[in-house]
Amino acid sequence: MPDRQLVDTPFVPATRTSRQAILDRVRAATAGFEPAPVRRDYRQAGAHPQPDPETLLEVLIDRLVDYKAEVTQCAITDVHTAVTAFLSAEEAVRVVVPDGFPDEWLAGSTDSESGLVRLDDTGPLTVDELDAADGVVTTCAVAVAETGTIVLDAGAGQGRRALTLLPDLHVVVVTADQVVARVPDALGRLDPRRPLTWISGPSATSDIELNRVEGVHGPRRLRVVVAESG
């Protein structure tokens, strides 16, 4: 919403003066500064050797578990079983399902006998409804093996950012083709104009004596289904 009329407000012209002054000062300060050219001798995207697909998943799972996420590895045809298992193990009844989350990944879990109440974000859901939900299931955009990171880009099956923030349980499905080796490989697959959330394990803090404690404001339980095709 660029047209909120804030640009013509009385206090902005003053900062316009500062704008010019800061830019002039910065340019004068760096006149003649010619630093050495940037050398990217580190391992860049696609750097060889790339780990084989099996190792990639192994590393990802190792890192996820290291940061206290629980992980299930399964065939893509069994995702619904794994998702349902995580939800029922956590006794999650009211579950947020973002638009675009594949129906077959929930098939069998929306039956009346499973007792699941599916919350769709058509409406959209209020913060109180989200806060009262037991969990959320999503897909993801990319996963980084080396750091155990899952990236959400608000695309299909992921929804807006609040959906994965307020419920205390987040079940996320990662497919093998979404897993990249390292951080540089991930950036090329992401669109910076989308709102991005990089998630590495459940919410945590190191603020008390620098010991890591899992579980503060974000979802305190992160469950990951790693799905392989075939």
Partner 1 sequence: MSTTDQPAGKAEITQWPRATNTGHLHGDYFPRAARVALADPQLRRNIGNATTIIREKRGSVVAELDDWAELRAAGAAIKDATMADLGDHLERLETEVAARGGVVHWAADADEANRIVIEIARRAEARDVVKVKSMATQEIGLNEALAEAGISAWETDLAELIVQLGDDMPSHILVPAIHRNRSEIRDIFRREMGNVGVPAPDGLTDDPPALAEAARIHLRNRFLTTDMAISGANFGVAETGTVMVVESEGNGRMCLTLPRVLVTVMGIEKLIPTWRDLEVYLQLLPRSSTGERMNPYTTMWTGVTQGDGPEEFHLVLLDNGRSTILADPEGRPALRCIRCSACLNVCPVYERTGGHAYGSIYPGPIGAVLSPQLTGVADNPSLPFASTLCGACYEVCPVAIDIPTMLVSLRAKVAADPDSGDARERAVFRSAAWAMSRPQRWTRLLRLMRLGRFLARRGSFRNLPPPFNGWTATRDLPAPPDQSFRDWWTAQRDGGGDA
Stretch that binds partner 1, among 49-57, 79-87, 96-104, 186-194 (CB under 8 A): 186-194
Binding-site member from 67, 85, 94, 175 for partner 1 (CB under 8 A): 67
118 or 194: CB nearest partner 1: 194
Binding-site member from 46, 55, 89, 161 for partner 1 (CB under 8 A): 161
Q: How many of the other CB atoms lie within 10 Å of CB of 155? A: 15
43 or 118: CB nearest partner 1: 43
Report the length, in residues, of the chain: 230
Closest CA to 223 of 120, 99, 79, 103: 79
Please name the residue ranges forming H helices in 6-164: 12-30, 53-66, 79-89, 127-132
6 or 230: CB nearest partner 1: 6
Binding-site member from 81, 175, 204, 228 for partner 1 (CB under 8 A): 204
The distance of closest approach from Cβ of residue 148 to partner 1 in the complex, given in angstroms and rounded to an integer, is: 7
Binding status of residue 115 toward partner 1 by CB under 8 A:
no
Closest CA to 101 of 172, 170, 196: 172
Residues ≥6 apart with Cβ < 8 Å to 41: none
